[in-house]
Amino acid sequence: MNKSRIIPPEELKKQKEIADEVLSYWKQKGKKPLAHIITYGCQQNENDSERIKGMLDKMGYGFTEENEEADLILFNTCAVREGAEMRVLGNVGALKHLKAKKPDLLIGICGCMMQQEHMSKQVKSKYKHVSIVFGTHALYRLPEIMLEALSDNKRVFSTENSIGAIAEDIPVYREGDIKAWVSVMYGCNNFCTYCIVPYVRGRERSRRPEKIIEEIKELAQKGVKEISLLGQNVNSYGNDADFNMDFADLLREVNKIDGIRRIRFMTSHPKDMTDRLIDAMAECDKVMPQLHLPFQAGSSRVLEKMNRRYTKEQYLSLVDKVRAKLGNISMTSDIIVGFPGETEEDFKETLDVLEKVRFDSVYSFIYSKRSGTPAATMPDQIPEDVQHERFDRLLELQNKISREINEDYFEKTYELLVEGKSKTDENVMTGRTPEGKIVNFNDDGKCRAGDFVNIKITKVGTWSLTGELVL
């Protein structure tokens, strides 16, 4: 038995039966309903949306990108930063007229933002045209929520809080057939002082390894070539469970699966990155030479206030250790600029880490106050103009470094997993190197998505590379 609570199979069976009822509801109406799902935020949310779509598919729904033709418009939201929340509320507000024209249209909001009580209350009182609201913990109950909303024509709010449980065997609807994200664990125990995630996604809970392996084997049979293992902090995989397996062991198991050619994973917390994991990365031929290792801030004083539980020096020596064992792998990071109390000297430490580590790219964020987190009430909140000025300096330095690293790719040949046609040009194909770099190339119709091809880099940019086929 896993110590993490698992949603009982009978509960999931009940949801499947309810999904069939929704299917019959639409059959009776003689209509194929359409849903527009709009996803904000991280890969975990993308993965949740794939499960939402999987359940809706079983309820008879097809999918559209057009609000006008949708019978259900559902926003799967992110609460990590205020900007994303404002955008959701703006977009939801703009749908009022459509709902007035089309009273049968269901508008819903789900995900992290709705797991915060003040937000769901605000939606309840101010956004009356929204009829479905559910948080991250109620995701598996979507069939029940849909049936209630459709048959009783009333507003459904399912935002109960819980520390979380695992719902296995929820159908998944995946867009791509070359790459897939697979969650290995949910939730977070770390309580970094700026972060809302532990409050809205509950405590860490690891999926059972056999369930993960089964899912990946099925994906491999369907032709998926690349797997990204997903969790807020994959390095603590198994800590909450009574099975005797850590993330290093899991990587070794996934590495054995026939048909899977590439494995990536995120996110790693520096405090939990073990030698065992670094060794496993070195041993597993399918694990790609890439590591996402957020450092968040360069100043040890700020790191302490963030409750990150490592110092700048510890982070830098971890990077040295990783590079000593794995060579010059591609590294990426998350950074927060303008955390409460961050001085110019503190910020310079962040720039210093960028210069010392030389990340391939970084995801940088301006600190956003999240109500309910300890940092929201810390003194010395940084004025916006200072935050922006630091943010711009950080981007400028990082763009220079990214570009310099990319220069090294010039005229070298890489194996590319072809992902398909470029979004911006029909005649151009796109794929990724083992390091995760995007390469665009002209193939004269020779390649298909899922192919592995050799590409020589002919042009470099800050964010992408251009190449030609080596036959």
User: Does position 195 bind ligand 5AD by CB under 6 A?
Assistant: yes
Distance separating alpha carbons of residues 186 and 42, to the nearest angstrom:
13
- Part in contact with ligand 5AD (CB under 6 A); list of ranges 1-9, 142-150, 156-164, 364-372: 364-372
Distance separating alpha carbons of residues 247 and 469, to the nearest angstrom:
36
User: Does position 265 bind ligand 5AD by CB under 6 A?
Assistant: no
User: Does position 192 bind ligand SF4 by CB under 6 A?
Assistant: yes
User: Does position 42 bind ligand SF4 by CB under 6 A?
Assistant: no
Number of CB atoms found within 10 A of residue 68's CB: 10
User: Does position 294 bind ligand 5AD by CB under 6 A?
Assistant: yes
User: Does position 363 bind ligand SF4 by CB under 6 A?
Assistant: no
Q: Using the rule CB under 6 A, which residue among 58, 81, 207, 432 binds ligand 5AD?
A: 81
CB of residue 223 vs ligand 5AD: minimum separation in angstroms?
31
61-120 residues in contact with ligand SF4 (CB under 6 A) are none
Nearer to ligand 5AD, 131 or 299 (CB): 299
Phi first, then psi: give them for residue 437, nearest 5 degrees: -75, 140
Nearer to ligand SF4, 200 or 260 (CB): 200
Site string for ligand SF4, 226-255 (x = CB under 6 A): ------xx----------------------
Sheet harboring 290-292: ordered strands across?
A: 290-292, 330-337, 361-366
Cβ proximity of 253 and 229 under 8 Å: no
Return the H-helix or E-strand segment holding 156: strand 156-158
User: Does position 190 bind ligand SF4 by CB under 6 A?
Assistant: yes
Q: Using the rule CB under 6 A, which residue among 63, 173, 243, 365 binds ligand 5AD?
A: 365
Tokens of 42: 């991280």
Q: By CB neighbour count within 10 A (0-12 exposed, 13-18 middle, 19+ buried), where does 111 fall?
A: buried
User: Does position 191 bind ligand SF4 by CB under 6 A?
Assistant: yes
CB of residue 118 vs ligand SF4: minimum separation in angstroms?
19
H-assigned helices in 222-309:
247-255, 275-283, 300-305
Site string for ligand SF4, 258-287 (x = CB under 6 A): -----------x------------------
User: Does position 185 bind ligand SF4 by CB under 6 A?
Assistant: no
Number of CB atoms found within 10 A of residue 352's CB: 14
**12, 192, 353, 357, 394 from 303: Cα distances, Å:** 42, 9, 13, 17, 18
- Part in contact with ligand SF4 (CB under 6 A); list of ranges 190-198, 313-321, 378-386, 425-433: 190-198
Amino acid identity for residue 430 in this structure = T
- The residues binding ligand SF4 (CB under 6 A) are 188, 190-192, 195, 197-198, 232-233, 269
